[in-house]
Amino acid sequence: MPRKLPEYNASSLADIAFMLLIFFLVTTTMDVDSGLERRLPQWVAPEDIEDTPPIKERNIFVVLVDRNNRLMVEGELCRVEDLKDKTKEFLTNPLNLPDLPEKNLEEVPYFGPYEVLTGSAVISLRNDIGTTYGTYIKVQNELIAAINELRESISQDKFGKPFAKLDDERQDAVKEIYPQKISEAEPKKVGGK
Amino acid sequence: MSKFRKDDGKETPAISTSALPDIVFMLLFFFMVTTTMRETDPLVKVKVPEATEISKLEKKSLVSYINVGPPMPMYQAQLGNEPRIQLNDQFAKVSDIGDYVEAERQAREEQERGQIVTSLKVDEYTKMGIVTEIKQELRKAAALHINYSARKATKRN
């Protein structure tokens, strides 16, 4: 008759496991990286750059940032706080002012004929090489915020849903009305030495 | 002589704790699997700027990082405190970025190569000069999908 093995005491197994558990709990970082998503334009060799047809002054929204992190919008000094409203004004041109961009009546899916900014309307962002990155991101953030808010508001008006909850086709329709067109020029020295 | 006897001295049995290790092990395995140890030591000090319109980087395996900032205090004696670029775990020059992007691409599966996102972790006080140079290099290397790393800002209004 085989001798019965003595059952061994497993009560400290829990302690060991706990110790390991606590180690992993402490070392785990679950932070997700987040940030402003952008797409860079395709690289074009300098010799291949063709002269683009000039864009009408009224269709460009010029944002300049100088080395002292001051902001100039459409030729006027501006605070970062006001940038969003100015951008929205440019993108909607609610009063059809002659110095804000032209609008064309275009067929947009789901919206029918809709007054859309002309395709050449663009936000032009140019910064100095001495601009600090923090300011640059602040400005980018305001520009994107303006576009996002406009998208959000027509999405709520038309579909009664936030933009993020729309399906892809509807999102594309909204994007057609408010495209994210931010052109970044090569930095050059702006203002002062 | 009563019909209903009191429980004479019968103690409540101790709760069996033999299943406790199993539970703890389950938790342990969960954390072991989800833990990602930091692969690279930071050589540069980066405090990313704040922003409100941020989106999350979904797939971590598709992200390659470029850190830019002033060197950590222990390297400042040799390198000064001008912002430097860190790729993987060494300091790099702007011209190294093309090779880095290519190496990152080679490290991914074939079908995932088109979806690589380059996350720029740049210190707030860096000047735009170096950032623009990096962007030009990324354009040359056709790594066009980028993400300016930023913290969620607390609402202003």
Query: Can you give the pLDDT at residue B39?
Result: 64
Burial A63-90 (b: 16+ CB within 10 A, else e): bbbbbebbbbbeeeebeeeebbebbbeb
Q: What is the pLDDT of residues A85-129, one digit of tens each?
A: 888 888 888 888 887 888 888 888 888 888 887 777 888 888 888
Q: Are strands A182-184 and A103-108 parallel, antiparallel or unpaired?
A: unpaired
Residue A77: beta bridge partners? A72
Q: Is residue B13 packed enough to be buried (19+ CB in 10 Å), middle (13-18) or exposed (0-12)?
A: exposed
pLDDT band at A193 (very low <50, low <70, confident <90, very high): very low
Query: Can you give the pLDDT at residue B123?
Result: 92
Instruction: Give yes or no for residue B128 having a pLDDT over 60.
Output: yes
Question: What are the backbone angles phi and psi of residue A114, rounded to the nearest 5°?
Answer: -140, 145
Q: Count CA atoms closer than 13 A to A159's CA, side-chain side.
A: 19
Q: Which residues of A touch B38 (CB under 8 A)?
A: 29
What's chain B's average pLDDT? 83
Rounded Cα gap, residues A119 and A124, in angstroms: 14
CB–CB of B148 and A38 under 8 A? yes
CB–CB of A35 and B51 under 8 A? yes
Query: Can you give the pLDDT at residue A40?
Result: 84
Query: Can you give the pLDDT at residue B61?
Result: 79
Rounded Cα gap, residues A61 and A57, in angstroms: 8
Q: What is the pLDDT of residues B65-114, one digit of tens each?
A: 899 999 988 888 888 888 889 988 888 888 899 999 999 888 888 888 88
Whether chain B has a CB inside 8 Å of the CB on A10: the answer is: yes
Rounded Cα gap, residues B81 and A116, in angstroms: 49
Report field, pTM of the whole predicted structure over 0.80: no
pLDDT band at B5 (very low <50, low <70, confident <90, very high): low
Coil, helix or strand at residue B134: helix
Coil, helix or strand at residue B36: coil
Q: Count CA atoms closer than 13 A to B21's CA, side-chain side.
A: 10
Query: Can you give the pLDDT at residue B48?
Result: 87
pLDDT band at B122 (very low <50, low <70, confident <90, very high): very high
For the segment B131-135, the average pLDDT, to the nearest whole number, is 90
Q: Starting from the edge strand earliest in sequence, which strands make up the sheet with A122-127, in order?
A: A76-78, A71-73, A60-65, A122-127, A182-184
CB–CB of A43 and B36 under 8 A? no
Range 102-131 of B in CB contact (< 8 A) with A: 117, 119-120, 122-129, 131
Mutate to test the interface with B, among A22, A40, A149 (most CBs of B within 10 A): A40
Query: Can you give the pLDDT at residue B157?
Result: 46
- For B50-152, the fitting CATH number among 3.20.20.120, 3.30.420.270, 3.40.50.720, 3.40.50.360 is 3.30.420.270
Contact between residue A168 and residue A43 where contact means Cβ atoms under 8 Å apart: no
For the segment A27-52, the average pLDDT, to the nearest whole number, is 75
Query: Can you give the pLDDT at residue A192?
Result: 44
Whether chain B has a CB inside 8 Å of the CB on A180: the answer is: no
Whether chain B has a CB inside 8 Å of the CB on A69: the answer is: no
Query: Can you give the pLDDT at residue B110?
Result: 84
Q: What is the pLDDT of residues A132-191, one digit of tens each?
A: 999 989 998 999 999 999 999 988 988 888 888 888 888 888 888 888 888 887 665 544
Rounded Cα gap, residues A64 and A79, in angstroms: 12
Query: Can you give the pLDDT at residue A188?
Result: 58
Nearest alpha carbon to residue A14 among B26, B8, B7: B26
Rounded Cα gap, residues B82 and B70, in angstroms: 5
Residue whose pair of structure tokens reads 């913290």 in the numeric block: B151
Bigger pLDDT: B115 or A55? B115
Q: What is the pLDDT of residues A8-35, one digit of tens each?
A: 777 787 788 888 888 888 877 666 678 8
Q: Which residues of A touch B127 (CB under 8 A)?
A: 129-133
